[in-house]
């Protein structure tokens, strides 16, 4: 099996500043990539911004600046947020970059030369909000069915990609590759959509109506439809990149997207790839939406909470933790102040933070700040049933992560890790090391076993959570004096005894509400 991994995020419209939806798509992709790296993959992902099209042109016009000036300013909001959220991408693409524009034009010329694109006079209902035509039958109360805005009747010449030609090829491909579109219910949704005859795709906009786009190479009076321009980024951005073993980045392992852009990815993009004779991405994964206090997010929803404030108020890592723990990938999730506080306090402050502080303090005061060695090691006679059971929890978490990363079951991975930490806290209640520390030689030996076991469980938990909370887990690792986190560190018994603990830190302070003070 190839140990290379390349994932993509959607590229974001720069018509407005980023919000939790954008943050989630990118953090999820970053975490998935880091997990693959932890399991020994040469893993990276790409992100970027979608700078052409009507939305952006309108946003610029509303501010009275040129589209170029607007995108030069707004792409930075995204770049800065990614730096703040500690996401590590290999490349940040802007669709106004010269190499991307050239690539898009090459792709279109190729399709044109192959006879995959034709022009015709077209009339239909056009929605400025969605930047596309709708069939009469698709309209809801005479408005566009997605953004519910008014549509206008337009008649114009345009260029079309022969998408309909690939309908059966696509259906067959999806059926033959059951994990191509994830989760399963989204795959079924796409197959349902494909039961209706597929139209050809309008891939141009007359310059007279929209100037802000990439001119078609075979007719400079038109610019490229923004979605075609955008989808091609997944290849143009990494065209010259190679994995360490020399292989190309394309095909991507994962396109991570939100559920609202599933059709553009699983129907438009895939059929374009068929027409080009290029490989399909391995998986398209659609995640759900974040709702705020249960309602759809909008500036006017009036809930008064902005999830992005939580990054500044509580820290990047716990914010990332909440996003990954709280959303079952594929389903919607709710962001609320109470659920945030509850999650951080119970999982991180009570379970993980407490366990870590206990073990750190007890080793500091009883073993001179050095990891105690277990006589006979973890296969010796002092390693009893309780210890084996505890070790089993860590082993289970490692195996579960290894087996489920490919299916992006990240919230469940976290749950398994937390189970091992909870088991540790129960073990500490049962073995009462704070009492053992007051006993004689036999108790001291038992204490060594208990604290060693505790340090190992925590070391592994921190390693498995490090893709989600890279900074905090690194501090925790240093606290335990443990070797660097890598694939080899994912087994019980890595600590040898004698490692010097780092300085103690309150890694996950409890969030204290004003009313509790
Ligand atoms: N520019 C296109 C994508 C082109 S990809 C070739 C676009 N941009 S977007 O900025 O509008 O949205 C980008 C992503 O943010 C989408 O995946 C979308 O699902 C996600 N989200 C926007 N709001 C969201 C939530 N409230 N919750 C979760 N994600 C949502 O579409």
CATH number at residue 462: 1.10.730.10
In a domain, 207, yes or no: yes
277 and 359 belong to one structural domain: no
Q: Does 302 have pLDDT greater than 80?
A: no
CA 180 to chain centroid: 17
Give the chain's domain count: 2
Of 229, 256, 287, which residue constitutes the final position of a domain?
A: 287
184 and 270 belong to one structural domain: yes
Q: Does 119 have pLDDT greater than 60?
A: yes
pLDDT of the residue at 154: 87
For the ranges 222-231, 292-301, 380-389, the lowest mean pLDDT is seen at: 292-301
pLDDT single digits (tens) 218-235 = 999 999 999 999 999 999
Q: Does 294 have pLDDT greater than 80?
A: no
266 and 358 belong to one structural domain: no
Cα-only R_g, the chain: 27
Q: Does 49 have pLDDT greater than 50?
A: yes
- What's the pLDDT band for 44 if we cut at 50, 70, 90? very high
pLDDT of the residue at 123: 86
pLDDT single digits (tens) 427-442 = 999 999 999 999 999 9
The alpha helices in 354-497, defined as continuous H runs, are: 354-366, 385-404, 410-431, 433-436, 441-465, 470-479
- What's the pLDDT band for 1 if we cut at 50, 70, 90? low
241 and 349 belong to one structural domain: no
Q: Which of 260, 265, 273, 334 to mutate for ligand 1's pocket (most ligand atoms within 8 Å of CB)? A: 260
pLDDT of the residue at 130: 79
Q: Does 515 have pLDDT greater than 70?
A: no
Q: Is 297 a pocket residue for ligand 1 (Cβ < 6 Å)?
A: yes
For the ranges 55-64, 128-137, 252-261, 406-415, the lowest mean pLDDT is seen at: 128-137
In sequence order, the β-bridge partners of residue 182 are 285
Residue 265 Cα: closest atom of ligand 1: 6
Q: Is 10 a pocket residue for ligand 1 (Cβ < 6 Å)?
A: yes
- Distance between Cα 244 and ligand 1 center (Å): 31
31 and 162 belong to one structural domain: yes
111 and 232 belong to one structural domain: yes
276 and 352 belong to one structural domain: no
Q: Give the closest residue (by CA) to ligand 1 atom 21.
A: 21
* Mean pLDDT for the stretch of residues 77-81: 97
Q: Give the closest residue (by CA) to ligand 1 atom 5.
A: 10
Structural domain boundaries, residue 28: 4-287
Please provide the average confidence, as pLDDT, over all residues in the chain. 95
Q: Is 25 a pocket residue for ligand 1 (Cβ < 6 Å)?
A: yes
45 and 148 belong to one structural domain: yes
> Around Cβ 443, how many Cβ atoms within 10 Å?
15
pLDDT of the residue at 176: 98
Helix (H, G, I), strand (E, B) or coil at 455: helix
pLDDT of the residue at 298: 52
Q: Does 210 have pLDDT greater than 60?
A: yes
CA 71 to chain centroid: 24
* Mean pLDDT for the stretch of residues 185-193: 98
pLDDT of the residue at 5: 98
pLDDT single digits (tens) 499-509 = 999 999 999 99
Do the Cβ atoms of 378 and 391 come closer than 8 Å?
yes
- What's the pLDDT band for 516 if we cut at 50, 70, 90? low
pLDDT of the residue at 51: 98
* Mean pLDDT for the stretch of residues 445-459: 98
96 vs 59: CA distance, rounded Å = 16
In a domain, 328, yes or no: no
83 and 181 belong to one structural domain: yes
Give the residue among 448, 463, 462 at the shortest CA–CA distance from 505.
462
What are the tokens at 153? 């009747």
In a domain, 356, yes or no: yes
Q: What is the CATH number of the domain that holds 135?
A: 3.40.50.620
481 and 393 belong to one structural domain: yes
In a domain, 497, yes or no: no
Q: Does 300 have pLDDT greater than 80?
A: no
Q: Percent of the chain, pLDDT > 90?
A: 89
pTM of the model: 0.95
pLDDT of the residue at 493: 96
In a domain, 495, yes or no: no
pLDDT of the residue at 301: 47
Q: Give the closest residue (by CA) to ligand 1 atom 18.
A: 258
Q: In this predicted model, which residue has the larger pLDDT, 128 or 375? A: 375
163 vs 269: CA distance, rounded Å = 10
Question: Whose structure tokens read 């609320």?
Answer: 336
In a domain, 314, yes or no: no
pLDDT single digits (tens) 18-29 = 999 999 999 999
In a domain, 311, yes or no: no
Q: Is 290 a pocket residue for ligand 1 (Cβ < 6 Å)?
A: yes
The alpha helices in 12-123, defined as continuous H runs, are: 20-38, 54-63, 67-84, 98-113
Do the Cβ atoms of 396 and 416 come closer than 8 Å?
yes
In a domain, 75, yes or no: yes
490, 402, 415, 22 alpha-carbon torsion, rounded to 10°: 110
- Distance between Cα 61 and ligand 1 center (Å): 22
Residue 51's contacts (CB-CB under 8 Å, 6 or more residues apart) are 14, 67, 71, 75, 94, 95, 96
pLDDT of the residue at 127: 87
C-alpha distances out from residue 513 to 52, 215, 337, 342, 509, Å:
44, 55, 11, 11, 12
- Distance between Cα 24 and ligand 1 center (Å): 9
Q: Is 507 a pocket residue for ligand 1 (Cβ < 6 Å)?
A: no
241 and 377 belong to one structural domain: no
* Mean pLDDT for the stretch of residues 266-291: 98
- Distance between Cα 21 and ligand 1 center (Å): 6
- Distance between Cα 211 and ligand 1 center (Å): 24
Q: Is 13 a pocket residue for ligand 1 (Cβ < 6 Å)?
A: yes
* Mean pLDDT for the stretch of residues 360-382: 95
**Burial (Cβ within 10 Å: 0-12, 13-18, ≥19) of residue 449:** buried
- Distance between Cα 175 and ligand 1 center (Å): 27
26 vs 39: CA distance, rounded Å = 20
pLDDT single digits (tens) 311-345 = 999 999 999 999 999 999 999 999 999 999 999 99
365 and 481 belong to one structural domain: yes
Do the Cβ atoms of 68 and 49 come closer than 8 Å?
no
């Amino acid at each position: 099996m190839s140990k290379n991994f390349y994932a993509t995020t959607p590229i974001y419209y720069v018509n407005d500043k980023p919000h939790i939806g954008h943050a989630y798509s990118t953090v999820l992709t970053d975490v998935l990539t880091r997990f693959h790296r932890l399991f020994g993959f040469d893993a990276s992902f790409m992100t970027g911004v979608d700078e052409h099209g009507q939305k952006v042109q309108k946003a610029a016009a509303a501010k009275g600046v040129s589209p170029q000036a607007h995108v030069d300013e707004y792409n930075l909001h995204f770049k800065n947020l990614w730096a703040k959220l500690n996401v590590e991408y290999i490349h940040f693409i802007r669709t106004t970059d010269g190499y991307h524009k050239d690539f898009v034009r090459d792709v279109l010329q190729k399709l044109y030369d192959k006879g995959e694109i034709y022009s015709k006079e077209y009339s239909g209902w056009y929605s400025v909000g969605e930047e596309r035509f709708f069939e009469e039958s698709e309209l809801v109360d005479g408005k566009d069915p997605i953004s519910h805005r008014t549509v206008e009747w337009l008649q114009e010449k345009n260029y079309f990609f022969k998408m309909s030609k690939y309908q059966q090829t696509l259906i067959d491909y999806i059926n033959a590759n059951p994990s191509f579109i994830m989760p399963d219910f989204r795959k079924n949704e796409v197959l349902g959509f494909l039961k209706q005859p597929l139209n050809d795709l309008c891939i141009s906009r007359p310059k007279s109506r929209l100037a802000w786009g990439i001119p078609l190479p075979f007719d400079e009076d038109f610019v490229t439809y923004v979605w075609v321009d955008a989808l091609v980024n997944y290849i143009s951005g990494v065209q010259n990149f190679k994995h360490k073993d020399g292989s190309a980045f394309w095909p991507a392992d994962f396109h991570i997207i939100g559920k609202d852009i599933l059709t553009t990815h699983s129907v438009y993009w895939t059929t374009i790839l068929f027409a080009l004779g290029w490989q399909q991405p391995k998986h398209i994964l659609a995640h759900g939406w974040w709702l705020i206090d249960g309602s759809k997010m909008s500036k006017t929803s009036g809930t008064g909470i902005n999830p992005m404030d939580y990054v500044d108020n509580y820290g990047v890592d716990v914010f990332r933790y909440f996003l990954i723990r709280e959303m079952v990938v594929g389903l919607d999730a709710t962001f609320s102040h109470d659920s945030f506080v509850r999650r951080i306090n119970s999982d991180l402050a009570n379970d993980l933070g407490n366990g870590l502080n206990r073990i750190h303090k007890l080793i500091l005061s009883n073993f001179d700040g050095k990891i105690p060695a277990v006589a006979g090691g973890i296969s010796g006679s002092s390693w009893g049933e309780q210890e084996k059971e505890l070790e089993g929890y860590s082993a289970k978490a490692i195996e579960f992560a290894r087996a489920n990363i490919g299916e992006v079951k990240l919230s469940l991975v976290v749950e398994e890790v937390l189970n091992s930490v909870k088991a540790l806290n129960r073990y500490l209640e049962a073995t009462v090391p704070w009492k053992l520390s007051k006993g004689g030689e036999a108790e001291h030996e038992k204490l060594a076993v208990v604290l060693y076991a505790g340090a190992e469980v925590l070391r592994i938990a921190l390693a498995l959570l490090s893709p989600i909370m890279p900074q905090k887990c690194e501090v925790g690792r240093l606290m335990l004096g443990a070797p660097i986190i890598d694939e080899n560190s994912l087994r019980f018994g890595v600590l040898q005894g004698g490692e010097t603990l780092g300085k103690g830190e309150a890694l996950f302070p409890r969030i204290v509400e004003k009313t509790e003070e």
